[in-house]
Amino acid sequence: MINIVLFGKPGAGKGTQAEFLKGKYNLTHLSTGDIFRFNIKNDTDLGRLAKTYMDKGDLVPDEVTIQMLQSEVDKNPDSDGFLFDGFPRTISQAEALDVFLESKSQSITATIALEADDEILVKRLLERGKTSGRPDDQDEEKIRNRYQEYNEKTAPLMNYYKEQNKFYAVDGIGSIAEITERLSTVIDNL
């Protein structure tokens, strides 16, 4: 069982890389962003609640996110492992995830951060926003607010996982194939 947390600021390529990694390692990809967008599109109670936070560029509260993620893990009991994309984003979420996985006799195997310069990522997101239809990718101020949220709340997770010897940084700039190869090298050596 391999459980990987994929870190990176919005636009770093987590979703793109997750598509390759889930196939190569037979992992179940759990993207909180995708799950939230599904719920928003289908106008569920969770979707409406998540939208109020996402529209401001803020993170959805821990309790909502954790319950949603636990439900998704429980829907995949035969998985060879999970690729967590966009979760955890805070120390309290990481601790809750550890407790939840421990209750299933599992743990996080590794956390891998896709690292890239903010200015490159802002350009990527604005470009993506032209075709994605996502309002949070079309407003530079909202994008920069998301990065501020990331720096304040998510970056401390790096130390949390470093203390457990589970943190790996990977250069997120280059071709998709180059980045996939860098990620695979880390995973293959776990």
Q: Is 88 annotated as a binding residue?
A: yes
Point out the catalytic residue in the list 9, 14, 124, 142: 14
Q: Is 13 annotated as a binding residue?
A: yes
Rounded Cα–Cα distance for residues 134 and 167 (Å): 30
Q: Is 59 annotated as a binding residue?
A: yes
Q: Is 15 annotated as a binding residue?
A: yes
Rounded Cα–Cα distance for residues 152 and 39 (Å): 26
Nearest CA to 21 among 110, 93, 99? 110
Point out the catalytic residue in the list 9, 124, 142, 146: 146
Q: Provide the phi-psi class of 114: left if phi over 0, else alpha when psi is between -120 and 50, else beta.
A: beta
Catalytic residue at 14?
yes
Point out the catalytic residue in the list 123, 128, 144, 153: 128
Catalytic residue at 134?
yes
Q: Is 16 annotated as a binding residue?
A: yes
Catalytic residue at 182?
no
Position 19, amino acid:
E
Point out the catalytic residue in the list 9, 22, 89, 166: 89
Q: Is 86 annotated as a binding residue?
A: yes
Q: Is 87 annotated as a binding residue?
A: yes
Residues 6+ apart with CB under 8 A from 74: none
Catalytic residue at 48?
no
Point out the catalytic residue in the list 123, 134, 144, 153: 134
Q: Is 182 annotated as a binding residue?
A: no
Catalytic residue at 89?
yes
Q: Is 128 annotated as a binding residue?
A: yes
Residue ranges for the binding site for ATP? 11-16, 128, 174
What are the binding residues?
11-16, 32, 37, 58-60, 86-89, 93, 128, 134, 146, 174
- Active site positions, annotated: 14, 89, 128, 134, 146
